[in-house]
A and B are shown apart, each in its own frame.
Chain A
Amino acid sequence: MATGPTITQAELFDPKFLEAVSRLRLVSKRVARGGRPAEQRSRDLGSGIEFRDFRPYSPGDDFRAIDWNIYRRLGRVFLRLFEELEDLPVYLATDVSDSAFLEDDPRARTGLRTAFALASIALHQHDRVGVFSFGEDLEVAMRPQSGRGKTMQIASTLSGLNPKGRTDFRQSFRRFASLGLRQGLLVVISDFFDPGGIEAIREALGSQRHRLLLVPLWRASDRDPDLTGDLELVDCETGETEDVSVTPQILEKVRDAHDVFHADLIRFVRRRGAGILRVDCDHDLIPQLSHLFEGGRYEA
């Protein structure tokens, strides 16, 4: 059930943001070796199918090849080098559930911008990019396509997405799996607030045959809610209510619950060999992405 307002294209992709994405693309192009993945297969190790080696990440490297397990262990970003680079499609699954559109500065804004930025980079590397939106179910917003000219089409597609009710990872990614897409990188951009909890997320994403990059859209207030008093908390997606008298003890338990959830998510990512890129919705997106692509480090 759509409950929130949509975000217009002008709001989402204002000139300042587009310019920032362009700079991000330039950063990603300053690659000593690489460029379009398909062009590197002759002499360089790339992100193909057969694994050969690791090497430190350099600005401009294909982020799809980042080994997130090594990053978590060592705190450094390494690439997994393969025998042959292939055209690895990028599937951007963006959360458009009601929760993404609820707040004054909706998370959907950051989520859609993240999707656009990643799509823009991939398209400029001649990769194929598919755009999907999910809430109660998953919809194909744009089938996988390549070509730099698709950038604005993706922008238009993303800005046309509407809220789609409650979050249901199981249903949405069962649907995604049923699409029979070629193996690629599945980027899940979401707040991950599935009423089914971490179990639903593990179940929905654990069975995917794609490589995974999870992009949690979080806010500091998720862990430290700025709420006081005697409240009837209404879940914006399910309508379920919870009577709470906010006390320091309750807030402590909320923090604990949040940390447990996040730890479970990290544990899942580690076990799945997936990547995770946590985006703070209260800060500018581009610096956060630049930090990853330019500095080769990302503080999770």
Chain B
Amino acid sequence: MTSLFGSTALISGLLAIAGGLYLLQRLRVRHRPVRVVSTLFWRAAVEEARARVLVERFRHPLVYLFLLAICALLWFAAGGLGFEDRSGTHHVVLIDGSQGMGGGDRFGATIARVEAALAELPRARRQVLLVGGEVRTLLAPGEPDRLFTVRSEGATAERAPSSIEGTILSLLPYLSSGEETTLWIASDTAISPELRAELPAEVTVASLRAPGDPPVGNRAIVACGVSPAASGNWELVDLLVEVAGSDPGGMSLTASLGGAGIAGGTTRSDSAGRAQFLFSDLPALGARFEARLSGSDPNPLDDEVARVLPVRRIVSVVLDPDLRPWLEPVLAADPALRVVESGGDVVVRRSQSGLGAGLPALEFVTRESQEESILLSHSGEESSAEVLESALLGLGLDQVDAMELAEAAGRPITLGARPADRRAIGVWEDLLAQEYNFVSSRSFPLFVALSIRWILAVEDFPAEIAAGRNWVDPSGADARLRDGDRMLDPVGAPLRPPRAGDYLDLRGNPVAVASLAPAGAEAGGAESGAAIIADDVDSPGGTQPLANLLALVVLAMLGAEWFFHRRGEVP
């Protein structure tokens, strides 16, 4: 049996009705006055009855049961009591709430399609999930249809990539429980045959796609990437926006940087319906870049993009004159570094030198003064183990031929880390000697450049920041983003911003997340408009409501009550 209220509420309500009727039954009744020739015999009878009971007796038990039956049936009818479909198949409806459904009224039509289909699904074994930026339950098993109506009000497609397939993958443990399950895909997005092949045999995929086709003629921003400026200027970046659409030659972008409009950039288009807008030599000062497709198209959700540009500035290095022969060419080759005589950001020196006191330092030390070949000093907030682990890649040490160095030094080349007031790196100065061949190796410039960047915590920046794609904190901290009052914390898993928008990283720096349409979005807001991989599914038998039958029974019982009342057998 199924009910709108759930079994607990149904039984609780029934008990409440029984209790209420009981109390009403115990209430003093309103007596109908009747004149009689004498109350002589009645008085004797009533006094005798009164004398035998402590409290007023429970009156008319059969009538009470009769009324309780009527009220219970009405309660059951109101509770939508019904027989459940016995086929045993579970039904999971996935509604695509991604930006691909933002064209025309596709999302609204899909919601309506699902709402109409709910009546055909057994209430106890159906659930509806809205798969937008995040997965939200619109209807849990056993809940009535009207809750879906209420919860779906105001729901819209979000500026987020479709995650229908990802959701199906996350449901796999549940789908693999051996029970018959039908996945109803309410989307214009195709399900890949590969995913279908991964699903258990008990799982059937069916389409609840809204009638009609998605609107055509859509244009969508499919890529937005930032890279160091091709001009070689460390303090500049290039930004590329790629747009897909049916008329790439006629597309244009409205762009701004830091709120000020900028020229549309260099445009390239190809025969595949792509147009690329390249914004070169943008200052890497952390300004916000925004771009929007000019004109209008059926799906506005994929027409705009934003990106906070990275902050890049040249590092001033004070170089110990004793080290110039080895390091000056290396430093000069790095566009991010500039050698200064004093007042720099970092100093590269021998340990005996007092140069650049107080500055973060890359020091070349004697073998006697430092046990480790390379010693990383880090702040107390960092873990030495983590520092060592990250240094292998972060300092390019994986490129160093440690075996060769060890053979040359006659002792092992070791790496160590220790906490200190500030970051610093100490390296055996012996390694600068010719016989070690370290200076002349290809890893030496990389080691120097990365060491200086590590000492100053100079961050790299990702090329692309998009919803649904991994985001890594450039500082190396745990990937967490604040979304308004909510902290997105994947707890060790890769962080994927759920939807486009503005976030803050752990240091309070703004992070603009774009929502980039997948390939084929220009065909109508969905991937290629391909047909959903759907199995042949018979429309399942739904819950068979008893409301009408119960109402007829109640009507008959009321008629019987009226009959007995007229006969005086029911008060």
Contacts and interface: CB of A to CB of B under 8 A. Distances in A.
A84 interface: no
B39 A257 contact: no
Interface stretch (B44-52, B260-268, B544-552): B44-52
A79 to B, nearest CB: 35
A56 interface: no
A257 B33 CA distance: 22
Given A233-B42, A236-B37, 8 more contacts: A193-B38, A232-B31, A234-B35, A235-B36, A235-B38, A244-B45, A250-B46, A254-B41
Contact of A245 (B43, B59, B568): B59
5 contacts: A227-B34, A230-B31, A236-B36, A244-B31, A257-B44
Contact of B39 (A222, A230, A242, A261): A242
Contacts of B86: none
B40 interface: yes
Contacts of B568: 228-229
Contacts of B59: 245, 247
Interface in B26-83: 29-46, 48-49, 59
B40 A231 contact: no
A128 to B, nearest CB: 32
Contacts of A250: 45-46, 49
Contacts of A136: none
A244 B42 contact: yes
Contact of B34 (A231, A237, A261): A231
A230 B32 contact: yes
Contact of B37 (A191, A242, A247): A191
A93 to B, nearest CB: 19
Interface string B293-326: 0000000000000000000000000000000000
Instruction: Give the one of B35, B49, B568 with max A CB within 10 A.
Output: B35
Contacts of A241: 33, 39
Nearest to B33: A232
A103 interface: yes
B36 A234 contact: yes
A255 B44 CA distance: 10
Instruction: Give the one of B40, B41, B44, B48 with max A CB within 10 A.
Output: B40
A179 B360 CA distance: 143
Contacts, number: 95
A230 B44 contact: no
B571 interface: yes
B536 interface: no
Nearest to A98: B37
Nearest to B40: A193
B569 interface: yes
A100 to B, nearest CB: 8
B37 A102 contact: yes
Interface in B412-471: none
Contacts of B34: 227, 231-234
A99 interface: yes
Contacts of A229: 32, 568, 571
A249 interface: yes
B452 to A, nearest CB: 100
Contacts of A245: 29, 59, 571
B41 A261 contact: yes
Nearest to A251: B45
B31 to A, nearest CB: 4
B44 A240 contact: no
A99 to B, nearest CB: 4
A195 interface: yes
Contacts of B30: 230
B33 A242 contact: no
A229 B59 CA distance: 11
B43 A242 contact: yes
A256 B45 contact: yes
Nearest to A260: B44
Given A229-B32, A230-B31, A245-B29, A257 B45 contact: yes
A207 to B, nearest CB: 22
A197 interface: yes
Interface in A204-237: 222, 225, 227-237
Contact of B45 (A99, A236, A253): A253
Contact of B49 (A225, A233, A253): A253
Interface string B126-162: 0000000000000000000000000000000000000
A232 B33 CA distance: 4
B44 A253 contact: yes
Contacts of B36: 102, 225, 233-236
Given A102-B37, A228-B571, A254-B41, A242 B32 contact: no
Contacts of B31: 230-232, 243-244
A1 to B, nearest CB: 14
